[in-house]
Amino acid sequence: MEPAPDRPNTDNGQEYACLLGLTSLSEYLDYVAAEAIVSEDPKDLAEQWRRATDRRAQLERDEEHWTNQLPATAKKPPELQPLSPEMTERVPQVLADPVFQRAFAIVRTRIAMAPLDELVVYQRSVNLDHVHVLEQRLGANPSPEELFRFCLPTERELPPYRVRPIKKDSFVFISDSTDLRFLEPVVLAGDQIVDYQPFGPVAGVVGLVVGYGSNFLNVISAEGRLILNNGNHRAYALRHLGITHAPCLIQDVARRDELEAVAGGRLSRDPDAYLKHPRPPYLSDFFDPTLSRKFRLIRKSRHVRVTFKVEEISI
């Protein structure tokens, strides 16, 4: 099988770090063929996949052997550390933030220093171009207060976005940020809308809200493990800068029903892969050259399409 010809060099894409050995070989080959800017030799890709798969299997055996030698009382989840005094002073500001109060109201949530290398990850790629921007913003030697604000910001910059009508009943929101998402439907009263002149008296407004996440570095504590639920790029940037612990919102999940309510992505769809597997993927795997590979991938933007339907019926 010959590698496909290189794509036209109209865009050099973006650099990503991708975890290997977490999908089948055919899925890995198809992903690289579809997404990489420069074509790759399938033989080389297959060899990389085999090395990563063997490495993961060896880690699984080694870590299972080590934990099996410990008494049950010694098998503890990763240890959280307390905040420094400079960080503790800023906690009330986070707790009073309306976004925090709305987004983290379901389960018990606390703020502590989490060990980055021991965080289970379910996001399998990281945009290194974005990581570089974050590292420049933070600096090489951040103060405790700067680190806290980087991880748990209450002042948020809205990423650039565009809105385009497709039809009278359909709109698309476009952003370079992959965090763009549909948030919720909401019913509003007429007096909650400003700078709008209706055709007549307003009975109510149905809003389909599109926006971004809370932007807090967020970890779920469940079944003896810490799972990185939001903030993958910041966590990667911190670890790349040599920082081993970071202030996070820790959501304590005591049962699977709670997990369904607060988890996202692959963790929500397949929780056993991250909570029960003997050796799930960790943030530290991104820095293992056998388990991770850098690619330049096609540049993408995030599109959220919103379509509505109206029925007027006399009964």
Q: What is the pLDDT of residue 274?
A: 94
Which token pair is 4? 């496909």
Whether 98 maps to a domain, the answer reads yes
> Can you point out the beta strands (E) in the chain?
14-19, 109-115, 120-121, 125-127, 161-167, 170-175, 181-188, 205-211, 218-222, 225-230, 245-253, 292-297, 302-307
pTM for this prediction: 0.88
Average the pLDDT over 192-210 and give the result.
90
Read off the pLDDT of each residue in 87-106 and give the average, rounded to a whole number.
Answer: 95
Domain membership of residue 271 as a residue range: 77-156+214-276
Residues with Cβ within 8 Å of 144's Cβ and at least 6 positions away in sequence, in order, are 84, 86, 87
Encode pLDDT of 278-289 as tens digits. Answer: 899 999 999 999
For residue 247, give the CATH number of its domain: 3.90.1530.10
**Contact predicate 9/292, CB 8 Å:** no
Interval 231-266: pLDDT, tens:
999 999 999 999 999 999 999 999 999 999 999 889
User: Is the model more confident about 100 or about 67?
Assistant: 100
- Please answer whether residues 153 and 215 qualify as being in contact, where contact means their C-beta atoms are separated by less than 8 angstroms: yes
Let me know: does 183 contact 125? Beta carbons within 8 Å: no
Determine the average pLDDT of the residues in 128-149: 95
Instruction: Please indicate, yes or no, if residue 181 is contained in any of the structural domains.
Output: no
Q: Total structural domains in the chain?
A: 1
| Residue 70 in this model has a pLDDT that exceeds 90 | no
**311 assigned to some structural domain:** no
Say which amino acid occupies 101: Q
